[in-house]
């Protein structure tokens, strides 16, 4: 080997290795937002941080939180399910109607969850058969399912005549006299679905499809089957949320859960799941829902008119989209891909 060949090698070896950029967890943004919100609200209203106020806040976040952790799988596939809130309401109505017809609460609850699974699978079948994005399909099924709810409940609150039995006592109970049962269900399912997303073949396939659908298909991944299962899971989470809502409150009112679908999308995005797909964070979705619920609770706490809740829900979605886009641009710059347009 000549001297001219060894010189560049020696010069190159003398250069220090580039330091790896510090990568923060995907949930960091949601954690910071939650901490700032709690600090601000605690400063404005110290009573907000009392355990007697925080536990009900967690309970209010638990039911839509179930939709959020299901939505992570859909978003990780680079899809969006707009019908989740409508599925929640119809499943709750169906469960309450079965109970009102004299069916035991436990089989009625199972029926509500199964209905959610069927509606989720229906969304998947339509998307696969018509070869359309789930966003487009669920834009239509959202209105269809919502219309079925209106036909079924006739704009009236449906209450179960058996409220007060073991089913309702369990779902309305509080562990250690503080923790709502819905919170425990959310935590258990969040742990299970976190493992499913990051430690199972199904989870790997969901994220592979979101990263590059064509490459996933070329690699032999049954993309249609995975999409179908992910949307069925989304429907199951929405159905279970509807069942818990009925079990904890004993009834379902016409407007209940109307914003849950959008809140689920916003919570998942705030928690670090990207619209570009390829990865998701179950833990982040739970934290994102806590952020959303803290903002909505602050409206009541600060004496703001409750009509602003709808505006706040829309603002949360816009904030989540903006945060997702900003993080996407930052990742591209850090990886050296250069700048692209805001919508590139």
* pLDDT for res 337: 52
Q: Look up residue 173 and give its DSSP letter.
A: -
Q: What crossing angle do the helices spanning 223-249 and 51-76 adopt, rounded to 10°?
A: 160
Reported as a single tens digit per residue, the pLDDT across 75-88 is 999 999 999 999 99
Q: What crossing angle do the helices spanning 282-301 and 308-334 adopt, rounded to 10°?
A: 140
Torsion angle, alpha carbons of 151, 154, 157, 158, to 10? -60
Residue 157 has pLDDT above 60, yes or no: yes
Is 4 or 325 the better-scoring residue by pLDDT? 325
Residue 21 has pLDDT above 70, yes or no: no
Mean pLDDT, rounded, of the chain: 87
* pLDDT for res 20: 56
Distance of CA 308 to the CA centre of its chain: 22
Neighbours of 154 (CB within 10 A): 8
- Confidence tier at 10 by pLDDT (50, 70, 90): very low
Is 118 or 169 the better-scoring residue by pLDDT? 118
Reported as a single tens digit per residue, the pLDDT across 252-268 is 999 898 889 999 999 99
Lowest mean pLDDT across 10-19, 185-194, 277-286, 294-303 = 10-19
What are the residues facing 174 on neighbouring strands?
180
CATH 1.10.3470 fits 54-325, yes or no: yes
Residue 342 has pLDDT above 70, yes or no: no
Residue 188 has pLDDT above 60, yes or no: yes
Helix (H, G, I), strand (E, B) or coil at 133: coil
Is 234 or 306 the better-scoring residue by pLDDT? 234
User: By C-alpha distance, which of 269, 232, 266 is closest to 116?
Assistant: 232
Cβ contact 61:185 at 8 Å: no
* pLDDT for res 8: 42
Total residue length of the chain:
344
Phi, psi angles (nearest 5°) of residue 236: -65, -40
* pLDDT for res 288: 93
Distance CA 259, CA 238 (A): 13
Reported as a single tens digit per residue, the pLDDT across 138-150 is 999 999 999 999 9
HEC secondary structure over 85-114:
HHHHHHHHHHHHHHHHCCCCHHHHHHHHHH
Cβ contact 271:285 at 8 Å: yes
Task: Using the Cα atoms of residue 331, residue 323, residue 273 and residue 225 in order, give the sign of their dihedral.
Answer: negative
Cβ contact 64:260 at 8 Å: yes
Q: Residue ranges per domain, the chain? A: 54-325
Mean pLDDT of 30-37: 88
Angle CA 300–53–298, to nearest 5: 25
Torsion angle, alpha carbons of 295, 296, 298, 302, to 10? 140
**What is the share, in percent, of the chain residues with pLDDT greater than 90?**
56
């Amino acid at each position: 080997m000549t001297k001219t060949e060894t010189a560049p090698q020696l010069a190159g070896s003398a250069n220090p290795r580039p330091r790896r950029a510090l990568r923060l967890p995907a949930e960091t943004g949601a954690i910071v937002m939650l901490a700032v919100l709690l600090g601000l609200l605690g400063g404005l209203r110290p009573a907000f941080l009392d355990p007697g106020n925080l536990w009900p806040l967690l309970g209010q976040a638990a039911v839509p939180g179930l939709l959020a952790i299901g939505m992570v799988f859909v978003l990780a596939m680079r899809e969006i399910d707009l019908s989740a809130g409508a599925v929640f309401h119809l499943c709750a109505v169906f469960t309450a109607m079965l109970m009102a017809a004299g069916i035991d609460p436990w089989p009625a609850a199972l029926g509500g969850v199964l209905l959610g699974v069927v509606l989720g699978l229906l969304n998947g079948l339509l998307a696969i058969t018509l070869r359309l994005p789930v966003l487009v399909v669920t834009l239509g099924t959202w209105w269809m399912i919502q219309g079925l709810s209106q036909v079924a409940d006739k704009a009236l609150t449906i209450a179960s005549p058996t409220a007060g039995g073991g089913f309702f006592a369990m779902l309305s109970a509080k562990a250690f006299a503080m923790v709502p049962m819905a919170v425990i269900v959310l935590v258990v399912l969040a742990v299970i679905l976190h493992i499913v997303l990051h430690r199972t073949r199904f989870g790997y396939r969901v994220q592979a499809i979101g990263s590059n659908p064509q490459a996933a298909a070329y690699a032999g991944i049954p993309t249609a089957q995975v999409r179908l299962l992910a949307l069925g899971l989304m429907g199951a989470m929405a159905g279970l949320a509807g069942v818990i809502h009925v079990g904890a409150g004993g009834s379902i009112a016409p407007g209940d859960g109307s914003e849950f679908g959008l809140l689920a999308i916003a919570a998942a995005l705030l928690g670090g799941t990207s619209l570009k797909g390829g990865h998701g964070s179950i833990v982040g979705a739970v934290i994102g829902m806590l952020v959303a619920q803290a903002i909505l609770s602050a409206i009541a706490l600060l004496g703001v008119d409750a009509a602003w809740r709808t505006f706040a829900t829309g603002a949360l979605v816009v904030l989540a989209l903006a945060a997702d886009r900003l993080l996407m641009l930052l990742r591209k710059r850090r990886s050296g891909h250069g700048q692209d347009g805001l919508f590139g």
